[in-house]
């Protein structure tokens, strides 16, 4: 039996990549899904509303019940452990190591003990500034130096899994810069695409950090941007492939694009002229800033993943046109499918109205005082 043919547990299932994964599972006809998350008062609940799943459980409840009785929730064929605190500015190391490291260890041990396929989210943040490489084939994990506590909490489990001999039985996925629908609840942790759409809608322009590295001009800093729809297809591959694809894998587009390229694609999707201004980077970020990331996905390809990856301009257009502009999560079907031309027309009309409001009418048309 394939790992996707039975009951499936998705932790972080109301979050960004997790809810997109549930959406992709629904697209494969899978609904026997237990979603685990901590929703609280966030907008994450909106991500779940249009999706189909069997049940929901809060994260602390799942953890405590499994600790008392490993059979508390029955049998699963696959576990996708995507739940974590993903804030790169979180400063509570005790919390991160418990929530991101220890909980992952507990779930992995539980899944392996019950013969369940276990796929978990590691992170490209484990690579730090990239000066020690971003090679998912390099076994010398201890060489890596994450730049923040979030990356460190993920790195600790990768090391622990290796020391326990688990990496030959489970799959850890190092997501690069993922963007796309269902991330809006993340606030400041949203992608630049989501933030840029909001900025452009309000001001007509986009602010980017200046470069403080002479090797990169302003806006020339480079990232590997991966559309969330591609990210979840890659993630599901590791359950479809089963135990034949284990260990740590980079998940990215395999290409590095500049911030200016991304900005042009966003403005283009909105039908607007590109207007970018550069602002100073906060001192606290300068020592921890990554100027270049690119995922080497040759290991993923060698494992058998052969789907094409959505070009950046097409991914941005889909996200902006079909999700950001209509403010719609994955799973909600539009009454009238959006097209790039329709969005551009609407954006041009809004821009004209904004310009008209900003310019005073000619004297002959002003009301008498």
| 3-class state of residue 11 by DSSP | strand
Q: What pLDDT score does 362 carry?
A: 39
**Local structure of residue 6 (DSSP, 8 states):** S
Structure tokens at 237: 């591959």
Calpha distance 319→140 (Å, rounded): 37
Domain borders along the chain are 1-176+225-254+292-310, 188-223+257-291+311-354
Q: What is the DSSP string of 158-208?
A: HHHHHHTT-TTTSEEEEE-EEE-TT-GGGGGGS-HHHHHHHHHHHHS-EEE
Please identify which residue in the block is written with the tokens 């009454």: 335
Q: What's the CA dihedral at 186, 191, 197, 199 to 10 degrees?
A: 80
Q: Are 25 and 5 a contacting pair, CB within 8 Å?
A: no
Question: Is it true that domain 188-223+257-291+311-354 has CATH number 3.90.25?
Answer: yes
Calpha distance 27→24 (Å, rounded): 5
Q: Are 34 and 53 a contacting pair, CB within 8 Å?
A: yes
Protein fold of 1-176+225-254+292-310: Rossmann fold (3.40.50)
Spatial CA neighbour of 93 closest among 30, 149, 9: 149
Q: What pLDDT score does 341 carry?
A: 57
Beta strands per DSSP E along the chain: 8-11, 33-37, 55-58, 78-81, 117-121, 171-175, 177-179, 206-209, 222-223, 225-227, 247-251, 257-258, 276-279
Active site residues: 150, 186
Calpha distance 317→321 (Å, rounded): 6
Q: Is the dihedral of CA 341, 343, 349, 355 positive or negative?
A: negative
Task: Calculate the CA 354 to chain-centre distance.
Answer: 33
**pLDDT tens series, the chain, 369 aa:** 588 999 999 999 999 999 999 999 999 999 999 999 999 887 899 999 999 999 999 999 999 999 999 999 999 999 999 999 999 889 999 999 999 999 999 999 999 999 999 999 999 999 998 889 999 999 899 999 998 999 999 999 999 999 999 999 999 999 999 999 999 999 999 999 999 999 999 999 999 999 999 999 999 999 999 999 999 999 999 998 766 899 999 999 999 999 999 999 999 999 999 999 999 999 988 887 889 999 999 999 999 999 999 999 999 999 999 999 999 999 998 755 555 555 555 555 555 545 554 444 433 333 333
Whether 188-223+257-291+311-354 and 1-176+225-254+292-310 are alike in CATH topology: the answer is no
* Class of residue 50 by CB neighbours under 10 A (exposed 0-12, middle 13-18, buried 19+): middle
Q: What is the DSSP string of 300-322?
A: HHHTT--PPPPPHHHHHHHHIII
Q: What pLDDT score does 322 carry?
A: 97
């Amino acid at each position: 039996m394939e790992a996707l043919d039975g009951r499936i547990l998705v932790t972080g299932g109301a979050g960004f990549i997790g809810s997109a994964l549930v959406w992709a599972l629904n697209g494969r006809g899978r609904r026997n899904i237990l979603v685990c998350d901590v929703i609280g008062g966030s907008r994450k609940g909106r991500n779940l509303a249009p999706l189909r799943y069997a049940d929901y459980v809060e994260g602390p409840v799942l953890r405590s019940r499994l600790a008392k009785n490993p059979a508390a929730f029955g049998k699963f064929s696959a576990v996708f452990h995507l739940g974590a605190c993903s804030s790169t500015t979180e400063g509570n190391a005790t919390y991160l190591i418990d929530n991101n490291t220890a909980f992952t260890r507990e779930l992995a041990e539980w899944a392996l003990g019950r013969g369940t396929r276990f796929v978990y989210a590691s992170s490209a943040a484990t690579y730090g500034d990239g000066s020690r490489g971003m090679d998912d084939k390099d076994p010398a994990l201890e060489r890596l130096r994450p730049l923040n506590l979030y990356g460190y909490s993920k790195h600790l489990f990768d090391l622990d899994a290796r020391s326990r001999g688990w990496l030959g039985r489970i799959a850890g996925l190092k997501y690069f810069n993922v963007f796309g629908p269902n991330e809006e609840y993340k606030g400041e942790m949203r992608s630049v695409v989501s933030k840029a759409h909001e900025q452009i809608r309000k001001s007509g322009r986009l602010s980017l950090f200046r470069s403080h590295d002479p090797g990169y001009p302003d806006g020339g800093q480079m990232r590997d941007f991966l559309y969330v729809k591609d990210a979840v297809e890659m993630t599901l591959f590791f359950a479809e492939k089963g135990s034949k694809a284990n260990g740590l894998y980079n998940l990215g587009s395999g290409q590095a694009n500049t911030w200016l390229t991304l900005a042009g694609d966003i403005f283009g999707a909105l039908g607007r002229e590109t207007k970018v201004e550069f602002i100073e980077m906060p001192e606290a970020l300068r020592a921890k800033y990554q100027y270049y990331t690119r995922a080497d996905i040759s290991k993923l390809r060698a494992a058998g993943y052969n789907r094409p990856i959505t070009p950046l301009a097409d991914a941005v257009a889909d996200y902006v046109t079909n999700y950001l502009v209509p403010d719609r999560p994955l799973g909600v079907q539009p009454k009238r499918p959006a097209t790039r031309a329709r969005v551009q027309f609407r954006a041009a009309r809004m821009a004209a109205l904004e310009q008209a409001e900003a310019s005073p009418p000619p004297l002959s048309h002003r009301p008498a005082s």
